[in-house]
A and B are shown apart, each in its own frame.
Chain A
Amino acid sequence: MYQIFKKRILYAPLLTCALVISYSQAHSQETTIDVDDKIDELDDKIDELELLKKDLIGLKNNLEKKEETIRDKENKLDGEIRSINSLRNSMSVRESEPFSKWHLAGYADIGFESISGDTNDSFLAGKFNPSFHFQFKDWIMFESELEIETSNDGETELALEYSQLNFLVHDNLTIVAGKFLSPIGQFQERLHPSWINRSINGPAGFGHGGVQPSSDVGIMLRGGVSTSDDLIFTYSLAAGNGPRFGHDEDELELEGFGRDNDSNKSFGGRIALVHSSSLEFGFSYLNAGLNAEEELLEDGDLEPAKNADYRLWGADLAYSKGPWDIRAEYLNSKTTPTGMLLEEEVEEEEEEEGHGGAEPVNWKTWYAQIAYRLSEITDHPILAKIEPVVRYGQFRVRVEDTLISNSENRWNFGVNYWAAPTIVIKAGIERRNYILPERTDETRYLMQLAYGF
Chain B
Amino acid sequence: MKTLKITLATALLTSLCFSTNVNAQEAVKKDPMQVARGAKAWAQTCNRCHNIRAPKELTDEEWEVSTTHMRVRANLPGDMVKDIIAFLQASNNERIEK
Contact = CB atoms under 8 A, between A and B. Distances in A.
A binds B: yes
> How many residues of A sit at the interface, in one of the four size bands?
35 or more
Contacts of A190: 49, 73-74
Given A96-B23, A421-B52, A189 B73 contact: yes
A320 B49 contact: yes
Interface string B16-32: 00011101000000000
Nearest to B76: A224
Contact of B98 (A92, A234, A276, A422): A92
B78 A135 contact: no
Interface string A268-282: 000010101010100
B62 A103 contact: yes
Nearest to A173: B78
A174 B72 contact: yes
A135 B72 contact: no
B19 A139 contact: yes
Given A135-B64, A137-B19, A421-B54, A280 B75 contact: no
Contact of B71 (A139, A174, A422): A174
For B52, B72, B73, B74, the residue with the greatest tally of chain A CB atoms inside 10 Å of its CB is: B72
Given A133-B69, A135-B64, A172-B77, A97 B51 contact: no
> How many residues of B sit at the interface, in one of the four size bands?
20 to 34
Contacts, number: 106
19 contacts: A99-B20, A133-B68, A137-B21, A141-B69, A168-B78, A171-B77, A171-B79, A174-B71, A189-B73, A190-B73, A222-B75, A224-B77, A225-B77, A226-B77, A226-B80, A278-B47, A320-B47, A320-B49, A422-B50
Given A134-B65, A172-B77, A418-B51, 10 more contacts: A103-B62, A138-B21, A171-B79, A190-B73, A222-B72, A223-B77, A234-B75, A272-B75, A278-B44, A422-B51
Interface of A: 92, 96-99, 101-103, 105, 133-135, 137-139, 141, 143, 166, 168, 170-172, 174, 176, 189-191, 195-196, 222-226, 232, 234-236, 272, 274, 276, 278, 280, 318, 320, 418, 421-422, 452
